[in-house]
Amino acid sequence: MHNKKTRIKIGYMESVMLYICGFLAVIFSIAPLVLAEEGYTQGWLGAPDWVLDRTDTSILPDFYIPRNISGTNVEIPTVSSSIAKGNQLIASESFLDAKKQFEEAINLDSNSYDAWLGLGYALEGSKRYQSAIDAYKTASSLCGGEDSAWAAYAGLGRVSLILGQYQAAEQAFQTAIEMIDDTGYSETEDRQALENGLAEARQKLGGGYGAVFSRSTA
């Protein structure tokens, strides 16, 4: 009797073990299909690619989205990253490519002072002067308390001088000098360039006192 009960217990345990092994076999056979499912990041349980494609990238921060099924990282353009790239392109005098970067930043945030200022630089560098004036004017309207607010007026002065709009140039340079003094900006070369621009504008206007102004404020 005792041996019979022992055999029944062993048989029951064997049945349980076979059931567990069969269950695990099914799980492991499905797992590769889950991981290999197409159209999803990070496997079948991840985010569908079409969701990522429709994500409003303008509200996301400056980092990379999760890996997609191709195994590559996709960079999300942001206002700050587009402006940074644009400034690098300005430094290398790639003005047309810089213009695209600043326009991308403006598309993401139309009230970005730095984006409009950068667009002005790019347009000025590519000799699209009237468009540059429009960009600098927009930047000057958005400058607020920016320490570099004077730069928008400096750009207006430079381009107005090139276009022969001497009164506008005079006003822009004068405003830029006043703003640069208010911020305590200490780069003397930039201030001297503003003074020279103001002197040239006044000379073109026939004022006759531009050179005197430059010497007295140096």
CA 52/CA 134 separation, integer angstroms: 36
Look at 176 and 208; give whichever has higher pLDDT: 176
Residue 54 has pLDDT above 60, yes or no: no
Does residue 125 sit in the same domain as residue 151? no
In a domain, 65, yes or no: no
In a domain, 99, yes or no: yes
What integer best gives the mean pLDDT of the chain? 76
What residues have CB less than 8 Å from 73, skipping those under 6 apart?
Answer: 64, 65, 67
In a domain, 209, yes or no: yes
Q: What is residue 35's predicted lDDT score, i.e. its pLDDT?
A: 45
In a domain, 40, yes or no: yes
In total, how many domains does the chain have? 3
Q: What is residue 189's predicted lDDT score, i.e. its pLDDT?
A: 87
Does residue 122 sit in the same domain as residue 183? no
Q: What is residue 51's predicted lDDT score, i.e. its pLDDT?
A: 46
Does residue 102 sit in the same domain as residue 152? no
In a domain, 69, yes or no: no
Q: Please state whether the predicted TM-score (pTM) of the whole model is above 0.75.
A: no
Does residue 176 sit in the same domain as residue 131? no
Q: Any bridge partners for residue 75, and if so which?
A: 64
Convert 202-215 to b/e letters by CB count within 10 Å (16 or more is b).
bebeeeeebeebbe
pLDDT band at 143 (very low <50, low <70, confident <90, very high): confident
Does residue 32 sit in the same domain as residue 100? no
In a domain, 189, yes or no: yes
Domain containing 159 equals: 143-218
Does residue 104 sit in the same domain as residue 119? yes
Residue 138 has pLDDT above 90, yes or no: yes
Span between the terminal Cα atoms of the chain, in Å = 115
Q: Which of 99, 120, 139 is the last residue of a domain?
A: 139
Angle at 151 between CA 145 and CA 155, to 5 degrees: 140
Does residue 30 sit in the same domain as residue 83? no
Residue 40 has pLDDT above 50, yes or no: no
Angle between helices 166-183 and 188-205 (to 10 degrees): 150
Does residue 127 sit in the same domain as residue 85? yes
Residue 37 has pLDDT above 70, yes or no: no
